[in-house]
């Protein structure tokens, strides 16, 4: 009987050792946007983009006109389209039934990279953004954006409010 208890104890310890007792979810590691893979249809060309101190990449597709330049704290009207790096469109204010959005640049309710992407734009400007995960939804993600995913936006600054 004593041998049976020893075998049972050894088996129980071996079973516990084989279990993953961590409470952390299986979150993929963040990828530097310069090393990420982008669907060709997105037209992302990281080497031709400007990288800000925060790590945001942007490229003006259309330079706006006029003297009204977006600054932190400005309220603006804009269009946007969000893609995953694999080319899947998540949402767009230009979709049927969609409408331009109005927000304050720097609003803490927005992902930081989105707000930062508007800085320095003039009305009519269109810009492509590659937002690293730390300036997007980070390790928690926001379905369908997976945890630690970089994202791609096209933004259009319409007007200051």
Residue 14 pLDDT exceeds 90: no
The domains of the chain are located at 30-160
What's the mean pLDDT in 60-72? 93
Long-range contacts, 116-121 (Cβ 8 Å, 24+) = 116/52, 116/54, 116/56, 117/56, 117/58, 117/153, 117/155, 118/70, 118/76, 118/78, 118/155, 118/157, 119/70, 119/71, 119/72, 120/69, 120/70, 121/60, 121/64, 121/69, 121/70, 121/155, 121/157
- Give the predicted TM-score (pTM) of the model: 0.84
Q: Which fold has domain 30-160?
A: Chitinase A; domain 3 (3.10.50)
**Residues 90-105: tens digit of each pLDDT:** 999 999 999 999 999 9
């Amino acid at each position: 009987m004593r041998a049976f208890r020893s075998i049972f104890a050894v088996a129980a310890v071996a079973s516990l050792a084989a279990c993953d007792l961590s409470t952390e979810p299986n979150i993929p590691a963040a990828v530097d946007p310069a090393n990420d893979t982008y669907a060709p249809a997105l037209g992302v060309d990281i080497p031709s983009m400007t990288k800000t101190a925060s790590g945001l990449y942007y490229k003006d597709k259309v330079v706006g006109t006029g003297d009204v330049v977006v600054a932190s704290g400005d309220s603006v009207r804009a269009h946007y389209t969000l893609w995953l790096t694999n080319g899947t469109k998540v949402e767009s204010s230009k979709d049927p039934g969609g409408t331009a959005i109005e927000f304050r640049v720097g609003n803490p309710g927005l992902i930081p990279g989105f707000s930062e992407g508007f800085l320095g734009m003039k009305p009519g400007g269109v810009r492509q953004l590659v937002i690293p995960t730390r300036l997007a939804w980070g390790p928690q993600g926001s379905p369908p954006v997976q945890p630690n995913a970089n994202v791609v936006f096209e933004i259009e600054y319409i007007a200051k409010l």
